[in-house]
Chains A and B, each alone.
Chain A
Amino acid sequence: GAVVSQHPSWVICKSGTSVKIECRSLDFQATTMFWYRQFPKQSLMLMATSNEGSKATYEQGVEKDKFLINHASLTLSTLTVTSAHPEDSSFYICSARDPTVRGLETQYFGPGTRLLVL
């Protein structure tokens, strides 16, 4: 099946710094990628939908200036957590949709990135 990678798998940073997380579709071109946030033992909360070549669509309550999303190519989307604070510590997961696969429902998930802000 299709593979989605994330880098880094985990990161520790100081409060006030910015952190960039990459999401790559390895064997397909993804016109749409999704970014989720997951707190311990909780569900995935969609943060934004990333569309190649256009601005991301953010969910209500998600600060777009805080969580910068760039989808500059069909195989790469990045999430930058700007001026990170301890409350931003979480598990961030991306998913990518393969438009060549029939049906809108086929999403492939990355392995996640654990962010710890000290």
Chain B
Amino acid sequence: AQSVAQPEDQVNVAEGNPLTVKCTYSVSGNPYLFWYVQYPNRGLQFLLKYITGDNLVKGSYGFEAEFNKSQTSFHLKKPSALVSDSALYFCAVRDVGSSNTGKLIFGQGTTLQVKP
């Protein structure tokens, strides 16, 4: 069965420092991986996705993620954090057994706190 794990409930980083939010996955076959961000009382906003191609994926708001097949990871990164990046981040994988409906399986979420 497909699954996604985000091992950190919360990540704290100072503004201007690089940030990493970790994600590991377990899928059968080739993974389709996603990162979403959620601000308080809001829906999810798409950040980036990996389907195929370059292992380093660039997305919205300066975020990027590196797909590592050997480590089954898809960590989200940003070179220089902003206070406005503080939010809840979700990693997700497409459920390949979903009969092509596009169903996503989400990790448990990681709260990113960027301090001034």
Contact = CB atoms under 8 A, between A and B. Distances in A.
A105 B103 contact: no
Interface residues of A, number: 28
Interface residues of B, number: 26
Nearest to A10: B41
A67 interface: no
Contacts of B101: 32, 49, 51, 57, 97, 104
A23 B20 CA distance: 33
Contacts of A100: none
Contacts of B71: none
B12 to A, nearest CB: 16
B2 interface: no
Interface string A25-66: 000000010100000011110100101000001000000000
Interface of A: 1, 4, 6, 32, 34, 41-44, 46, 49, 51, 57, 91, 93, 95, 97, 103-112, 114
